[in-house]
Each structure stands twice: as C-alpha cells, then as structure tokens.
Amino acid sequence: MSDYILLTDSSCDLPAALAEELDIQVLPLKVNLDGREFRNYLDEREIPSGTFYEALRNGGNASTSAVNPSEFVEIMTPYLEKGQDILYIGFATALSSTCQNGAIAAEELLEKYPERKIYVVDSKCASMGQGLLVYLTALKKREGAGLEELRDYAAATAPRVAHWFTVDDLFFLKRGGRVSAATAAVGTLLNIKPVLHVDDEGRLINMSKARGRKASIKAIYDKCAQTGDDVAHQHIFISHGDCGDDAKYLASLVRENLHPLDVTINAIGPVIGAHSGPGTLAVFFLGDVR
C-alpha cells in the first residue's frame, strides 16, 4: 500500500479505465438535470454522457453544485485512518468552490489527524486540462516520487497546461455569462464560432472567432501546433461534448502533423458540459506558458 493517495474530482473528465490503471481516486461532482440529481462518476454509471447531451439538445436544463467540505471529509477520512497521506488536485477555483472546500476539509481533518499530511493544489484547469495535469502527476507517483515532490511537480506543471476549445452552440456560453445575448445572436446568424482559452488563473477567455465549424477546429489545432512544447514527446488530450467525429478529425490533424506520443479522446462529463453544451471540442497539451 502506498503511503499516500492522489485524489481529484470528476471535472477532470479522465477515462475511467485510465484513472483506475493509475490508481487515481476520484470524487464525483453533481449535476442537476431537470430536477433530478446525478453524480458525475467517470464510468457514467448514473448518467451516460450521450443521454445527458441529448437531454440538453431537447431543451433540458442542467445546473451544477460544488462538493461541500463534509463530502471531502467523508472521502478522505478512510485513507487517513489507514495511515495514508493525501494529495488533492482540484477543479480551478476561478470556476468552482470545490477546491476551496477541499482545503477547508483538509484543515479540519488535520486537527483530528495531526500526524497525517493533506496537500491541496488548485489545478487552475478544467475538463481534461485538469485530467492531463492529474495524469502526468500520477505518472510521477508511479515512478516513485514522494508526497512533497509530487505536490511541487503538480503546482509547477499546472501553469503549463494549455486549454484551447470551441463550442458549436453559443446559447450555453450566453447563459453562463461568457458572451452577451447580442454576440450570441449575431454569432449564430453568421455561423461564427468562438475560440476560447483558459488563462493562468483558470478563467475562460474568449480569444478569437472563426467562421464555421471546420475553421474553428483548425484554429484550436493551430494553437497546439504553434504553442505546444515539443509536442512529439507529449501525450495530447482531446475532450468533446458528444461530437466524437469532430474529436477524431482533430486527433487526426494532431497525429498526422505533430506526431505526438499518443492522443487520448474522451467525453466532456455533465459537470463541465452543463456550462459548455453539446458540440464543445477541446485540446489540451503542455506549453512553455498557457
């Protein structure tokens, strides 16, 4: 048994099999869809991503809520009881209070278990950007890194995790206040697709526009090609909101032109998807800066 565990939350959108293979513990976040609450497990046991996005396309209303401190206490306590320490890498605090609540729980638990260690790292990432950071950290853990070494690695790597994405339907960004109603209306009329980025603090930033879906996909590919740090030696992550063919097309551009070590594609889970909507497509990689 390892003397510490690596914990994250399900906004990481990692494939369930990959999280299991790397012994990553995952706290499920929650989504409310038309009055019913579901836990966002990576294996989609409570709500499949396809079912969720179909509901959104049919006018369903989804909202999310942060994990509260008591839920963190519940998941962390058994590990502390077994004598294990904890490194928690959380959803960007600029987008959710989940990571802050994890820190509150850690402070409470350390009073009860003063001999244990709990470190909390704000990933300042979302979706498979968070997933990429956790994945790389898990690889370091597998290589034998100690708890403090791993904490420092995660904190140092987070600012290099680049997020570039586009959406197919501006309604969800409008609802979340990311674009104005006028921008959404004009963009929809003219088939303009935004190209967005997650900045150094984990905030969503509208960076540019593309005319049409193919152009927006090419735009986020170009960001990977232009700003990725030695992509040929990287594992690239791609996430999508129920648009698997577009994800495969983006992956083909990356594979054929940039020749990375590997590309992993996975669905955007309901917690992130409630805010980005169907048709969201994103690429994640390491750069010198975000």
User: What 3 state SS string does 118-130 have?
Assistant: EEEEECCCCHHHH
The SS3 of residue 234 is: coil
Tens-digit pLDDT profile for residues 138-149:
999 999 999 999
Residue 189 has pLDDT above 90, yes or no: no
Residue 184 has pLDDT above 60, yes or no: no
Sign of the four-CA dihedral 40, 96, 274, 126: negative
The SS3 of residue 183 is: helix
Residue 90 has pLDDT above 70, yes or no: yes
The whole-chain average pLDDT of the chain stands at 93
Quote the pTM value: 0.94
pLDDT tier at 186 (50, 70, 90 boundaries)? low
What is the percentage of the chain residues whose pLDDT exceeds 90?
Answer: 85
Q: What is the pLDDT of residue 290?
A: 87
Q: What is the pLDDT of residue 181?
A: 62
Tens-digit pLDDT profile for residues 4-32:
999 999 999 999 999 999 999 999 999 99
Sign of the four-CA dihedral 5, 10, 11, 12: positive
Sign of the four-CA dihedral 150, 152, 153, 159: positive
Identify which has the larger pLDDT, 173 or 240. 240
Residue 182 has pLDDT above 80, yes or no: no
CA dist., res. 227 & res. 288, Å (int) = 8
**H helices of 58-126, where?**
69-81, 98-112
Contact 235, 207 (CB under 8 A): no
Domains and CATH numbers, the chain: 4-158 (3.40.50.10170), 160-286 (3.30.1180.10)
What is the percentage of the chain residues whose pLDDT exceeds 70?
Answer: 93
Tell which residue, 108, 101, 156, 142, has the closest CA to residue 6.
142
Q: What is the pLDDT of residue 171?
A: 72
Mean pLDDT of 85-109: 97
* 160 burial level (CB within 10 Å; 0-12, 13-18, 19+): middle
Residue 284 has pLDDT above 90, yes or no: yes
pLDDT tier at 68 (50, 70, 90 boundaries)? very high
Q: What is the pLDDT of residue 50?
A: 96
> Out of 22-31, 162-171, 174-183, which region has the weakest mean confidence (pLDDT)?
174-183
